[in-house]
Amino acid sequence: MKSAVIAFSGGLDSTTLLYSLLRDVDRIHAMFFNYGSRHNAVELIAARHILKEWPGIEMEVVAVPPSIFRGSHSALMNEAFMPHKTYQELNETKGPSPTVVPFRNANIISLCTAIAEAQDYDEVYIATHATDAHNWAYPDCSPEFMGAMASAVYVGTYGKVRLRTPFTWMTKDDIVQRAVELEVPVQLTRSCYEASEKACGICPTCVERIAAFQNQGWIDPIAYQNETDIAWISCKPWPHLPGGTK
């Protein structure tokens, strides 16, 4: 029996990863991390809605003390202005994005690993991908970082737990295409960095998500505040919606 712990935020990436695990994994433990970001509360609502479809999957909400990230000047922690740019514009020079939360993924992976070892899960999964790692925008999403963490997880658990990062070499476009194949309910997911009821449509992750859907020829079925500015020209409605409508 294969078992896994997954870092789950209710976003497009982690939800697509969850749906890929449903095919192969018998026992799944989802972990949501509340670390005090500006969008944690709306993410949690999305995560709970998604998992209503899978009552056999337990989700544990882990409170990470926000004080450990204080002074980081991260836009996600309300310590800086949220940029309204693409990641490409933000990363014109090599270096971290203003939305980086220092060593966040190391903390997430470590806590997932502790749960996995203590409760006899085989693997830990996280949905980091190539677009976030590009040009070192998020260094803790890079293959180098994940390789080092995979070694630490394996050695630190006496070989009992493996870290899996199946999206490492995939772009956001690739993840949208995978979501199509897996019939992921993307209308329930939440990617926006703001806390508003509707996704803002102009923060870096919204812009990245919108572009990925457009590049793959699909209309993103979630609602955006600035929807009038989004041109879904030549894009098809998302094929996996209840009743077949947006």
- Cβ neighbours of residue 180 closer than 8 Å, sequence gap 6 or more: 216, 218, 239, 240
Are the CB atoms for 172 and 134 separated by under 8 Å?
no
Indicate the burial class of 243 (C-beta count within 10 angstroms; 0-12, 13-18, 19 or more).
exposed
> Token pair 């020079």 is at which residue?
93
Question: pTM of the prediction?
Answer: 0.91
| Encoded tokens for 15 | 């939800």
- Decide which of 3.40.50.620, 3.40.630.30, 3.30.450.20, 1.10.760.10 is the CATH code for 3-244: 3.40.50.620
Query: pLDDT truncated to tens, each residue of the chain (246 aa)?
Result: 899 999 999 999 999 999 999 989 999 999 999 988 888 999 999 999 999 999 999 999 999 987 777 765 666 655 445 555 555 555 555 556 777 788 889 999 999 999 999 999 999 999 999 988 888 778 999 999 999 999 999 999 999 999 999 999 999 999 999 999 999 999 999 999 999 999 999 998 999 999 999 999 999 999 999 877 788 999 999 999 986 544
- Report residue 235 CA to chain centroid gap: 24
b (16+ CB within 10 A) / e for 141-167: bbeebbeebbeebeeebeeebbbbbeb
